[in-house]
Structure 1
Amino acid sequence: MNSLLVAFLTTFLLFELVHGGQFVPLDDVKIDKLPGQPVEINVKQFSGYIDVDKDSGRSFFYYLVQPAKQPSNDLPLTIWLTGGPGCSSVGDGFSSVGPFVTSANARGLQPNPYSWIDVSNLLFIDSPTGSGWSYSNTSSDYKNGDYRTNKDLVTFMLKWYKKFPCFKSRDIILAGSSYAGHFVPNLANSLLDCKDFKFNVKGLTLGNPLLRRKLDELATSEFLLSRKMIDSEIHNKIMQECNTIDEDNYGAKVAVNWTKNCSQLMDKALSAAFNITDPRMAQGRLFDVLRKPCKGTLEDLKLGKEVAKISHGVDMCVNLRTDFYFNLPEVQKAFHGNRTNLPYPWKGCIMSNFAYTKTDIDFDMLPALKRLLQKSIPITIFSGLEDGMVPAVGTQKHLKKLAEELGLKFTKKESLNGGCSRYSYGDFLNLFTVKGGSHHVTASRPSQALYIFKNFVLKIGNA
């Protein structure tokens, strides 16, 4: 073998030429095919780790998906961050906006007809530390908060661009659900303020975002009353005992805790709403008050059984199957995940030693949204009307207050196809309410979520 050929083969083993002439190191290996991946879905997939703090051994796992067909180079990069806090964004991609969902026996994948992949490249990041396959060698790193999570995400993006330099000039859309109402606005502001690199942040898309937790919890009582799931007597008692928060000065009251009587009344309301004596189980039903949860188990899947429960057009067992699929050794190997071979099983949400700062969870996120709107960054929010955890009625109040502070005029309300209604505040702030949508609209009403996202991408692309 001549020296020229040897040199060529050596270079090929070290680097794979992808992304229109950019080199990607093979320590972040391209995924040729995931176990059980349907042959008709042709996408480019990459996954790996970015060390966000080498001293403590803190690393974030990511999964990048690109449409194989052109013009993928012209599409924006959507960064998807799942809430919790403590849930895996990568895992969430397999029940929401990614190209695949698990098969009924959880040993294979099926095409997701409502994936966002045709209109955007998708980057899923497991954050904060302890979510999905992200980890640290320092035990104290599993006590997380908004500040460090955001700082780590900025570090992640700066280092990730060094591995995927072709994305440096791409438009960026930041998206996510639930506690992403904290992650996404914080990250957007930090990227726009970054002195080391110019990030092309073009907009935010948020599903049922947690923006003002204590007021959202009060909105839960209002929501349950409106659905006739509780009576006016218990609602009035909750409002009398718990309504000690000044909505116009929420930030100063963030440290206020519910009284014992308030908490007991809220538990009583949940138990009455779902006819469940355990308030923790009742609280789990708030994510989707229309549909009953999956009754399948991981043991069923281990025995080779098919596990699916279709309720009002939604497969309620998809998260269970994702947990099973991500624990298959061949899947972890294909993803290049769990590189530390940690002994605990992969879970879609929350590790046993995971913790998050409570005052951060209670924090008012309207100022962060306000800063973005003042910079003319478009924000689209969609809220499922079957969500009792972060009810649309509360989100509407938050956005109304935000619009009033900025002098934004409520311009229109339109009924759209598929049970969506749009509320517009000025030129850059929109809220879509989605009939039949749960806390996770991308899973419960995926076609409506795709419709909203497509129009958002089109709008910012023409701006």
Structure 2
Amino acid sequence: MLLFMFVFVVALNRCCINGENIEYEYDRVIKLAGQPINKNISQFSGYITVNESHGRALFYWFFPAQSQPINNPLLLWLNGGPGCSSIGYGAAVELGPLRVGKNGANLEFNPHSWNKEANLLFVESPIGVGFSYTNTSSDFALIDDEFVAEDTYNFLVNWLNKFPHFKNHDFFISGESYAGHYVPQLAELIYDRNNNRNKYPYINLKGFIVGNPETNDYFDYKGLLEYAWSHSVISDQDYDNAVKSCDFMIENWSTACVNAMTIVFNRYKEIDIYDIYAPSCRLNITSSFTYDMATEIYDFSNTKAQTSRMWGRMKVGPGGYDPCYSKYAEAYFNKIEVQKALHVTSGRVKWTVCNDSVFRTYNYTVFSVLPIYKKLIKGGLKIWMYSGDADGRVPVIGTRYCVEAMGLTIKKPWTSWFYNNQVAGRVVEYQGLTLVTIRGAGHLVPLNKPNEALALIHAYLSNHPLSTRR
């Protein structure tokens, strides 16, 4: 009886202080396996229900800012795929304060973490990705961009109810790859519902920033083809054949186009399409994730909607970095002690960095998000796009086409920006949007160029411009 009373009092104290609900303390992560012992890292993880009747819940991992979290903005990060985990990539490989070490044996402190600049929130979305789940199997047949935006919106509303002290913080959304769809569509949903405060809670959305983002199918695939040719991945004959055979404006490619683009993608089999100058991972680690990028990208069938948008498994590794990070992440997050520490439901879960089933069954319904950009630019949101210029999958050429198609007025022309007295990339500022390139980075910019990526997010959040002088 005394033990029961002690536990009850402790729980009561943990839940409520001066009448304030601090339910989030139940999600505090005390320590993870292999975590650096000399670093005090505040972190929380767990589930947020997004649809109670269907039993849908999204998994999150949250790191308050390293200093003055009460004064810093809240930054949500989303990965793409569709089907790839923001825990496995964004948090544990790219920009979180704890990165998975070699072979998944431990965690290493990341001195370039973006929680130096913001309170950093990662969510695994949609359901079926990572630890996120649904109790209604028919939900998986419904997943498309609108479904993802609605669930992520509900996640955010309910997360802010659990962490109410962040409700009034400036809020920004970030992400990369197919999150080029997720991010602006979530921003639009928040923007629209903020205009109906009688029905929806207000979220203090200020803007969004996306990296190597899929934006418009026509420009993205036109850019992909031109990039492959201009960077000596394909021959003149391959390029001419694809140009003659393909009309990227239509949803369903002709058989001739499918055959031509199959040749283009096949040329990437020997190198990493996501970082064309980087070594590929040759490590053979047993993984629960069984398909590879080659199988996904090069196995075309009859319809473009089911085949040509296949993103495959993002395996990027720059010179000076181990290209096998995604394999290490799978090894680490499948440890039972790690899952327990992260408050994963139902004991052990087979975790994969990307979910093949989500990828294969995703319903692609949005050809272009450029109309959303135009709308939100008029709405006054702060919008940046950035692009690692060594990415062959969502190349900078296509992103430039997308931006130019909006016909925005140039405020500051295309110029170099610098980090450590070296050219870090180029920057051009339009009326309502800024485009930044990162020299030598692939698809995962914060992994490839961590210093430059940290300088980028600092400039974006702080309103201090990137240095355009040595």
TM-score strictly above 0.5: yes
1:145–1:157 distance in 2 versus 1, CA, 3 Å = same
Equivalent residue of 1:298, what SS?
coil
Q: Does 1:352 align with 2:351?
A: no
Q: CA deviation at 1:133?
A: 0.5
Per-residue CA distance 1:110-160 (angstroms, 9 max, x = gap): 111211011101111111111111011111212310111111111111111
**Aligned CA distance change for structure 1 residues 220 and 18 (closer, same or farther; 3 Å):** farther
Aligned to 1:411: 412
Q: Note if 1:42 corresponds to 2:40.
A: yes
The answer for the alignment partner of 2:307 in structure 1 is: none
CA deviations on 1:160-202 (whole Å, 9 max, x unpaired) are: 1111100110110100110111111011111122231121111
Q: Distance between the aligned counterparts of 1:460 and 1:377, measured in 2?
A: 17
The answer for the alignment partner of 2:281 in structure 1 is 294
Letter in 2 for 1:259: S
Letter in 1 for 2:116: D
The equivalences for 1:225-374 within 5 A come to 225-243=229-247, 245=249, 253=250, 256-271=251-266, 273-274=267-268, 281=269, 285-299=272-286, 311-337=318-344, 339-341=345-347, 345-352=350-357, 355-360=360-365, 362-374=366-378
What is the deviation of 1:228?
1.8
- CA distance 1:225–1:82, change in 2 (3 Å): same
User: What's the counterpart of residue 248 of structure 1?
Assistant: none
Q: For structure 1, which segment, 414-423 or 32-41, has the greater mean C-alpha deviation from structure 2 after superposition?
A: 414-423
> What per-residue deviation string (whole Å, max 9, x for no partner) do you get for residues 258-308 of structure 1?
11111111121233x34xxxxxx46x83111111211113249xxxxxxx9
Counterpart Cα distance in 1 of 2:358 and 2:453:
33
Cα deviation per residue 1:194-248 (whole Å; 9 max; x = unaligned)?
A: 2311211112111100001343122211001111222222212211110352xxx
Q: Counterpart amino acid of 1:285?
A: D
Change in 2 beyond 3 A, CA 1:142/1:309: closer
Q: Residue 39 of structure 1: CA displacement?
A: 2.0
Who is 1:304 aligned against?
Answer: none
Task: Please name the residue that 1:250 is paired with.
Answer: none
CA gap of 1:433–1:442, structure 2 versus 1, over 3 A, is: same
For 2:381, what is the secondary structure of its paired residue? coil
Q: Which amino acid aligns with 2:85?
A: S
Determine if contact 1:87/1:349 at 8 Å carries over to the other structure: yes
Q: 2:169 maps to what in 1?
A: 170
**TM-score, normalization by structure 2:** 0.84
The answer as to 2:95 corresponding to 1:91 is no
**Matches of 1:139 and 1:309 in 2, distance apart?**
32
Contact 1:95–1:101 (8 Å) recurs in 2: yes
TM-score w.r.t. the length of structure 1 is: 0.86
Q: Structure 1 residues 191, 460: CA separation in 2 closer, same or farther (over 3 Å shift)?
A: farther
- CA, structure 1 residues 20+436, in 2 after alignment: closer, same or farther (shift >3 Å)? farther
Partner Cα distance (1:244, 1:215) in 2:
8
Q: Give distance in 2, aligned partners of 1:455 and 1:20.
A: 38
User: Partner of 1:277 in structure 2?
Assistant: none
| 3-state SS in 2 of match to 1:128 | coil
Q: Residues 311, 432 of structure 1: CA spacing in aligned structure 2 closer, same or farther, 3 A cutoff?
A: closer
Change (3 A) 1:354 1:393: closer
1:18 Cα deviation (Å)? Answer: 9.8
Q: Which amino acid aligns with 1:91?
A: G
* Percent identity of equivalent pairs: 32
Structure 2 counterpart of 1:131, from 129, 132, 136: 129
State the shift of 1:310 in Å: 7.1
Structure 2 Cα separation of the partners of residues 52 and 353 of structure 1: 18
Task: Verify: 1:157 aligned to 2:156, yes or no.
Answer: yes
Deviations 1:322-360 (A, max 9, x none): 1110000000000012x13476x2101114365444432
**Which stretches of structure 1, 4 residues or longer, exceed 6 Å deviation after superposition?**
5-9, 17-21
1:53 aligns with 2:51: yes
Partner of 2:62: 64
Matched, 1:202 2:206: yes
* Aligned equivalents of 1:158, 1:209: Cα separation in 2: 25
Letter in structure 2 aligned against 1:120 = A
| Residues 175-186 of structure 1: pairs in structure 2 closer than 5 A | 175-186=174-185
Q: Does structure 1 conserve the Cα–Cα contact (< 8 Å) formed by 2:129 and 2:358?
A: no
User: C-alpha deviations, 1:361-410, integer Å up to 9, x for none?
Assistant: x52010111111111111111111111101100100100111x1xx4225
In the alignment, is the contact (CA less than 8 A) between 1:413 and 1:421 conserved in 2? Answer: no
1:181 counterpart SS class: helix
Matches of 1:78 and 1:172 in 2, distance apart?
6
SS of match in other structure, 2:442? coil
Shift of 1:41: 2.3
Q: Distance in 2 between matches of 1:399 and 1:26?
A: 40
CA shift at 1:107, angstroms?
Answer: 1.9
Letter in 1 for 2:117: V
C-alpha deviation, 1:412, in angstroms: 1.6
Partners of 1:211 and 1:364 in 2: CA distance? 6
Q: Distance in 2 between matches of 1:212 and 1:54?
A: 34
Aligned-partner Cα distance in 1 for 2:52–2:35 = 34
Instruction: Indicate if the aligned counterparts of 2:73 and 2:170 stay in contact, CA closer than 8 A.
Output: yes
Cα distance change, pair 72–358 in 1 and its aligned pair in 2 (3 A): same
Q: Which residue of 2 aligns with 1:396?
A: 400
**1:70 Cα offset (Å):** 3.8
Q: Deviations over 1:21-71 (max 9, x none)?
A: 95322684210111111123222111111111111111111111113x541
1:287, 1:389 within 8 Å by CA — same for their partners in 2?
Answer: yes
Residue 353 of structure 2 aligns with an amino acid whose one-letter code is G
Distance 1:390 1:36 in 2: 35
